Structure 1
């Protein structure tokens, strides 16, 4: 595995990650994430992904970081033995609120009932959101959508599950949410009457790939534990089109992997 960054850079990234994790993972602070004091970024033009690292010093890691996400996962280069630790998820039907934060549709929960455990560290699910087309690629192939489950530990570190979404049958787990999709930025979250069965948003086959990466949005902080499932879930053509009508393109292109270790693993439930 490629050697780690210097202690100075790691210290700087830790500070940035700690600050960004709060804004990224805590639903109650969602509005602050994109407030007037935060440098504006987008997915196109002069504020698009290729310019993020130049918009603000706060976003410098987007340009200079060497463990950036997303990446293309080359299955011929993955490590079968793995050295990233075991991943276990414990998900339950849960009440969520959701909204349009200006960059994606995001569902938030204050419940601590949904947990991901990685190498003995427990991460609580804080939110999930969507990107189109998919941010991660597998063997160079993208999917119409990608779902990110964002988890946060007590110390502020992040673990994200990435689920690729292909066209197929309608996914009933998001039926109510999709019937209320806001096409403009919302200042407050909308309430869902029914709980969401998160397990319906996971593939049946839980084989996955693990690697160390970053947030896929500014400030692109590194130190994020990524797990990307090999198998896709399905959403109907109508469901995919409904999201794309609001966000035609809200993905960051794949980043250089810099010879990072990508491990094969199986997520346990």
Structure 2
């Protein structure tokens, strides 16, 4: 029943709208309301239908070319933007990598470098490599006035006599792994060239590091002196076979029983007993003969050898068969000798 009533109402509305279309007594607004209610236009067409679309206008050839150029320009700009972005990313990555590398290098550089202090007279740690083992020893390999030298072509002049102010002193004996070293008590002095040096220690080398006109000696004693300003004077006493030497025997009697150990005897020794009766000498500027091979050392090499017994030399040879740095050429050196 409800459905039937609805259908009759719709038919009524449609019929009324159609009949009232031409009725002059019905106002336009009323007509619109009736048409809207009926779902039809004033011409009777369906409200859902639309007018046909206007076909697009064809582009001219010039317009087509302009459009193509615009499209190409847009694609180029897009590509350039991508390339710029990639380039900026690569530059940023390279800068970051460089910064990280610099930071790593700085961190490595900040780590204290530890160099070896191990040296010897043979093999990889021998004299040929001293200048490479530790940068502080660079002069050992590239110095200008390195010692020892083969003393040749000395200029004979009236040299000032060396004055020795030595006296009996306390001492200790150390086997330092390179040689036998004797530390001497204070108060022993050597004066030469109006400068006074104090005896600090003496030690031994086998064979002699110094040569005289190509001739070497079985052993040598080096007496190390230092003045108040830290300058060093080295007195070299060449040893040859002969009678026993009392100071050397005193040292041998007090050798420590272990390497790198020190003996401190209660007796004393007199360094003056080492000095030969004849005081003529050679002199030149050179260096220490062990690392760091510092230069600026005044060398005084006594011309007259000191005698030591074969047994005394044999005892040292058992401890140190070889502990001498090879001689350096003496060319270019100013060497003076006593008349």
Q: Is the 8 Å Cα contact of residues 117 and 123 (structure 1) preserved in structure 2? A: yes
Secondary structure of 2:248's partner? helix
Relative to its length, the structure with more strand (as a share) is 1
* Higher relative contact order (CA closer than 8 Å, sequence separation 6+): 1
Relative to structure 1, the CA distance from residue 44 to residue 183 in structure 2 (aligned partners, 3 Å threshold; closer, same or farther) is farther
Q: Matches of residues 167-206 of structure 1 in structure 2 within 5 Å?
A: 167-182=241-256, 184-187=258-261, 189-206=262-279
1:209-228 deviation line (CA, Å, top 9, x unaligned)? 00000000011110000000
Q: Residue 65 in 1 paired to residue 138 in 2?
A: no
Q: Which residue in the other structure is 1:9 paired with?
A: none
Selected match of 2:127 from 45, 49, 58? 49
Secondary structure of 2:327's partner? coil
How many residues are aligned here?
226
In 2, the alpha carbon distance for the partners of 1:229 and 1:195 equals: 24
Q: Which runs of 5+ in 1 are unaligned?
A: 1-35
TM-score when normalising by structure 2: 0.63
Bigger Cα Rg: 2
Q: Which residue in the other structure is 2:316 paired with?
A: 243
Q: Which runs of 5+ in 2 are unaligned?
A: 1-113
Q: Residue 120 in 1 paired to residue 190 in 2?
A: no
Runs of 4+ in 1 over 4 A off after TM superposition: none
Secondary structure of 1:210's partner? strand
Q: Is the 8 Å Cα contact of residues 82 and 263 (structure 1) preserved in structure 2? A: no
Selected match of 2:302 from 208, 219, 229? 229
Compute the RMSD of aligned alpha carbons: 1.8
Secondary structure of 1:93's partner? coil
Q: Which residue in the other structure is 1:254 paired with?
A: 327
Q: Which residue in the other structure is 1:89 paired with?
A: 164
Relative to structure 1, the CA distance from residue 183 to residue 139 in structure 2 (aligned partners, 3 Å threshold; closer, same or farther) is farther
In 2, the alpha carbon distance for the partners of 1:158 and 1:38 equals: 25
Selected match of 1:154 from 228, 235, 246? 228
